[in-house]
Structure 1
Amino acid sequence: MTDRLIKPVGRGFLFLDSHPAGCAQLVQDLTDQVEARTEARTLESRPVALVVGSSSGYGLSATLAGLARYGIDGVGVSFEKAPTVRRTATAGWYRTAATAAYAAERGSEFHFVNADAFADTTKADVLDLIAERFGGVDYLIYSVAAPRRVDPRTDTTYQSAIKAIGRPHRTKSIAFEDGNPLLQEVEIEVATDAEVAETVQVMGGEDWVRWVDALEERKLLKDGFSTVALTYIGSELTGPIYRQGSIGAAKAHLEETARTLSAKGIQARTSVNGAAVTQASSAIPGIGLYVSLLHKVLGEKMQTPIQQSIALWDQLTGEVEPVLDEEGRLRLDRWELDPSVQAAVREKWEAATEDNIGEVADAAWFYSEVRRLYGFDVPGVDYDQPTEVDVDWPAKA
């Protein structure tokens, strides 16, 4: 037993440790929000899904929604760190352990592979597992957020950049000092052509294609196979740093990849999700402030990742008609981009100052949501009690 008293120690939006019990409770809370749509199925009739990026953010929500609503089988892939003598495991490690336990309780056969999703060796191992256990997949959900990528074919390391394109951009951004919100002005540098190209290599669609191609080469695409890559468009307020910036170039490549796959006869789409507090989004200047303002405007009407993932699965399975835009993208973000919502957010954005940021934005909610990413501030967890930190990665069935 290695029980430890875990406290949230870190800087900004990054914490050194995560709380195992809090992460497990968070998974339970998310699954409790999902209403099962189907009765228990036999192994032969269960949908089989491969979720690349299954331990955090929208990938985690997609995994949990699929398990809870449709009893999916399959494989989740993520890259997490195990506990050490000095540090706990990453939050995604503990969330994955809790997700595996939930899948077992549901009677789903769902395996989790802890490895670099970009590596060819990972693809080979995952496809071997799929071939052995399921004979193929019905769905591939691609939800990878990584700062860098090593191309296994060339051994080249690509680094993503969060920068503007064309000209520098200044934006308001929220930060916290001892839990108190601060409003900052942040200068966003212009990305070089090389930085844009590297960002596309990391966050674009090349690896998504390689997963699809690898499945196809192994004849593991079941009849009616479909795949979706999760993406984001967002507001005009964040456009210069996101959609019109280096990240946006990668997202545009992701959408072009969907069209390329579709032209080959693969049913492939991007799913445009709404804004949320994730470990990836909190690192982008301006996004935290924008999401805080969005929640201030919408409150409980703001759709969570698990709510959006329920809608995603309903559309993937044909339970409901897909909601597409003119470019063929699934749109789960219409609630966010409603003109009246955006007008209210813009009004608050322009009104936000150093003196009123705590009132204009829902800063306390945002900060608590960031802490919840690491398993803190989760209702029902006693943080004054030690908790077991040596949690095993789920074993393959």
Structure 2
Amino acid sequence: MIIEPKVRGFICMTAHPEGCKENVARQISYIKKLGKTEGPKRVLIIGASTGYGLATRIAATYGCDASTIGIMYEKPANDRRTATPGWYNTKAFEEFATADGYYAKTINGDAFSKEIKEQTIELIKSSMGKVDMVVYSLAAPRRTMPDGTIYNSVLKTVGGNFTNKSLNLNNNTITEATIGPATEEEIQATIKVMGGDDWKDWITELDAAGVLEEKAVTIAYSYIGPKLTYPVYYHGTIGLAKEHLYNTSVEITQEFSSRGIKAYICVNKALVTQASSAIPVVPLYFAILYKVMKEHGLHEGCIEQMGRLFHDKLTPVGAIVDEMNRIRLDDYEMQDHIQHKVMELWDQINTENVNELADLTGYWEDFYHMFGFRYENIDYSKDVDI
């Protein structure tokens, strides 16, 4: 089959196996160039197939010589469609890691479910004994509870409408987007999906099963962003869920203090992911930010961020944190001179000058790379076994 990108709005409906393999290979190459660092040796990554979760797995493996178990929820190919990019990413990663002598196994299923937690515990017992790091990197749109109740997350404000400039991803024009307020029911549902309950459930069950090392570290990923995006993100439904995630990190550290287990929120940089592309206003901010950070030599992708996490932020004596005990990988993004320039360009930008004032090429390059497309060394005219 010859595979072409089929883009609908903020999602690509196809994925290219060779391109996804190239994506993984490039990330591995980057970590290899960084060299080795002290770090965890047996790592569980919950949400390990794309974006920050995949980069975490690669950085732990090739930076710390860690054995890894990944949890994903991906679809294989069938006669009508390609597999999801996370499926191809994971297949490629396991091939590379195994060839290089690393233990790497993956469980495919709903990480929220009791069944997947039990399968994971059994795999840890049989292959690792215990894990010394648990990374929680889920970006799920919905959660099914044990009683069958389904909660769906929403991208809405809290309290009123928010209107601002936005990037129309269909034609790269600058439009205006209005995001309405969520109901209390929608707020609570978003917290159920994207908050810290499931993260804490994982730590509780892993510890009760005896597969969590003393002094283990657990990290969940988050984002804060600039004041510009506060109404839709930090002060919106997602932000309330992320606040719950942060409060859960404090609870985990307190409740498991006798075991020396420490939980951290790691605040990451703004990057194009399947989740972030869906948020109105945010893609335009990202495209301007990319331009500014590249001009200052500060731009990072997922793998550069995770390389810095393991090499610079996680030390043998503990994590380097801010006053709220958060690891900050958004430190370059939030520098005053970067944000000042971004806001200056935001005020000026329109459809006529968008290509001049924003890095649309970089935005779309990252977008297509997520699905294995637009790598210059891949011949996309060739038949591929999906």
Normalising by the smaller structure, the TM-score range is: over 0.9
For residues 36 and 278 of structure 2, the distance between their equivalents in structure 1, rounded to whole angstroms, comes to 38
Shift of 1:171: 2.0
For residues 34 and 127 of structure 2, the distance between their equivalents in structure 1, rounded to whole angstroms, comes to 24
Shift of 1:46: 7.2
Once structures 1 and 2 are overlaid, which stretch shifts more, 356-365 or 280-289? 356-365
Over aligned residue pairs, what C-alpha RMSD do you find? Answer: 1.7
User: Which residue of the partner structure matches residue 165 of structure 2?
Assistant: 172
**SS in structure 1 opposite 2:210?**
coil
Shift of 1:373: 0.9
Q: Is residue 2:139 matched to residue 1:145?
A: yes
For residues 299 and 93 of structure 2, the distance between their equivalents in structure 1, rounded to whole angstroms, comes to 24
CA contact (8 A) 1:118 1:150 kept: yes
For residues 381 and 64 of structure 1, the distance between their equivalents in structure 2, rounded to whole angstroms, comes to 22
Structure 2 matches for 1:95-244, cutoff 5 A?
95-152=89-146, 154-177=147-170, 180-244=171-235
Q: Is residue 2:60 matched to residue 1:63?
A: no
Distance 1:320 1:69, change over 3 A: farther
Shift of 1:291: 0.8
CA contact (8 A) 1:71 1:106 kept: no
Q: Is residue 2:307 matched to residue 1:313?
A: no
Q: Is residue 2:252 matched to residue 1:257?
A: no
- Count of residue pairs the alignment pairs up: 379
CA contact (8 A) 1:36 1:70 kept: no
User: Which residue of the partner structure matches residue 87 of structure 1?
Assistant: 81
User: Which residue of the partner structure matches residue 298 of structure 2?
Assistant: 301
Deviations 1:294-343 (A, max 9, x none): 01111152122111111222357525863311110011111000011000
For residues 353 and 317 of structure 2, the distance between their equivalents in structure 1, rounded to whole angstroms, comes to 43
CA contact (8 A) 1:242 1:248 kept: yes
Runs (4+) of structure 1 exceeding 4 A deviation are none
For residues 132 and 282 of structure 2, the distance between their equivalents in structure 1, rounded to whole angstroms, comes to 34
Which ranges in structure 2 are unaligned for 5 or more consecutive residues? none
- Partner amino acid, structure 2, of 1:86: R
User: Which residue of the partner structure matches residue 357 of structure 1?
Assistant: 354
Shift of 1:225: 0.7
User: Which residue of the partner structure matches residue 272 of structure 1?
Assistant: 267
Q: Is residue 2:379 matched to residue 1:386?
A: no
Deviations 1:113-165 (A, max 9, x none): 1111000000000110001111110000000001100112x321000000001
Q: Is residue 2:42 matched to residue 1:51?
A: no
| Percent of aligned pairs sharing the same letter | 35
What's the TM-score, normalizing by structure 2? Answer: 0.95
**SS in structure 2 opposite 1:33?**
helix
Shift of 1:174: 0.9
For residues 152 and 55 of structure 2, the distance between their equivalents in structure 1, rounded to whole angstroms, comes to 26
Distance 1:247 1:46, change over 3 A: closer
User: Which residue of the partner structure matches residue 13 of structure 1?
Assistant: 10
Which ranges in structure 1 are unaligned for 5 or more consecutive residues? 390-397
- Partner amino acid, structure 2, of 1:174: L
What's the TM-score, normalizing by structure 1? Answer: 0.92
CA contact (8 A) 2:40 2:132 kept: no
For residues 273 and 231 of structure 2, the distance between their equivalents in structure 1, rounded to whole angstroms, comes to 20
CA contact (8 A) 1:48 1:73 kept: yes
Structure 2 matches for 1:280-299, cutoff 5 A?
280-299=275-294
CA contact (8 A) 2:230 2:236 kept: yes
